[in-house]
Copies of this chain bind each other. A is one copy, B any other.
Amino acid sequence: MDIIGTDLSQEGNVMTDRNLYIIKIGGNVIDNSENLYKFLKDFTALPGYKILVHGGGKVATQLSETLGIEPNMVDGRRITDIETLRVVTMVYAGLINKNIVAQLQRFGNNAIGLTGADGNFIKAKKRPVKTIDYGFVGDIDENSINPENLNNLISAGFTPVFCAITHDGDGQLLNTNADTIASALAVAMAKVYITTLIYCFEKKGVLKDINDEGSLISDINPEYYEELKIQKIIHSGMLPKLDNAFTAISSGVKAVIIGHSDDLGKLKHNKPFGTLLSKNA
């Protein structure tokens, strides 16, 4: 399992041994037990090294409401106050993360559930107070990742499952965007593995017409992306996701896939799924 000592000049299958998928799921998978079951089964069946990153879902909001914690909004932005941090730590790192791990173990995947505090894998910086104090929110980039520690864990045979909690290295847990965790992991691990970053969301992929799942764009490279942007074909809500994806690719990530969790199983059979973002040919 130790890939560090592998001679990369050898046969083609050595490269396969170095494949690492970093897959991010959000509320549309977590909140639907059927979707989640299918996804975790397909995730387990996918060959190669894997890291799962999951967001929150509805449970944290529901628990906050039940506990009478008012959403703390400033200028339309949600603030992570100390009470909200407690709730997300309980729900993300406890309830959701450990139930996902138990399911993966059931399917034979040797999963291990993590925050960024565990193994010091992700050390964030508390977002500085400018006009808004976001509270206990941690910002990260690829330099926040500890690829050596994480590689030790993966090489020891475990599948990391990250929730969207990090720490500041000084004892403080922080709430961190799950999409950003996934892309930071992908870029940082690209130094050691051939990484593919997969964002599962509620659509089949990037669509020409947001109301027509048949209008899927199967491949986008930077050149074509510029064209699509000029022609204003892609829904503006998708642009930040795509910008981040291409930044990851220009930082060493082999490819980014944006698609529906239901289609992940296709990857096992080397069939395309969702929208594949990659370098210009």
- A: which residues have CB within 8 A of B? 66-67, 86, 89-95, 97-99, 101-103, 105-106, 110-115, 117-120, 149, 152-153, 155-158, 165, 167, 169-173
Give CA–CA (A99, B118) in the complex, Å.
10
Q: Smallest CB–CB gap between A222 and chain B, Å?
A: 38
- The residue of chain B having its C-beta at the shortest distance from the C-beta of A154 within the complex is B156
Contact with A171, one of B93, B95, B102, B173 (Cβ below 8 angstroms): B102
Number of copies: 2
The CA of A165 and the CA of B98, in the complex, are separated in Å by: 9
Which residues on the B side are within 8 Å of A95 (C-beta)?
A: 86, 89-90, 94
Q: Are A169 and B99 neighbours in the complex by a CB distance under 8 Å?
A: no
* Contact yes or no, B105 A169, CB < 8 A: yes
Considering the complex, give the chain B residue whose CB is closest to the CB of A67: B66
Give min CB distance, A100 to chain B, whole Å.
9
Asked if A102 and B172 make an inter-chain contact with CB atoms under 8 angstroms apart, the answer reads: yes
Give Cα distance in the complex from A155 to B2, angstroms. Answer: 13
Cα-based distance from A113 to B118 in the complex (angstroms): 6
Which residues from chain B contact A153 at a C-beta distance below 8 Å? 112, 153, 156, 158
Given contacts A112-B114, A119-B112, contact A98 B106 (CB under 8 A): no
Measured CA separation A93–B170 after assembly (Å): 20
| Chain B residues with CB below 8 A from A117, complex form | 98, 101-102, 105, 111, 113
Cβ of A135 to closest chain B Cβ, rounded Å: 16
Q: Which residues of B contact A93 (CB under 8 A)?
A: 93-94, 97-98, 113
In the bound complex, do residue B156 and residue A102 qualify as a contact, i.e. CB atoms below 8 Å apart? no
Are B102 and A94 closer than 8 Å at their CB atoms?
A: no
What chain B residues lie within 8 Å of A149 (beta carbons)? 110, 157
Report Cα–Cα, A99/B170, bound state, in Å.
Answer: 11
Contacts of A169 in B (CB 8 A): 105-106
Chain B residues lying within 8 Å of A86, measured Cβ to Cβ, are 95
* Residue from B103, B110, B114, B155 in contact with A120 in the complex, judged by beta carbons closer than 8 Å: B110
Residues of B within 8 Å of A103, CB to CB, are 171
Q: Which of A91, A97, A117 counts the most chain B CB atoms within 10 A? A: A117
CA distance A175 to B110 in the complex (A): 21
Given the interface pairs A153-B158, A157-B149, the reply to whether A112 lies near B118 with Cβ below 8 Å is yes
Whether the Cβ atoms of B99 and A94 lie closer than 8 Å is no
The interface residues of chain B lying within 8 Å CB-to-CB of A101 are: 115, 117-118, 167
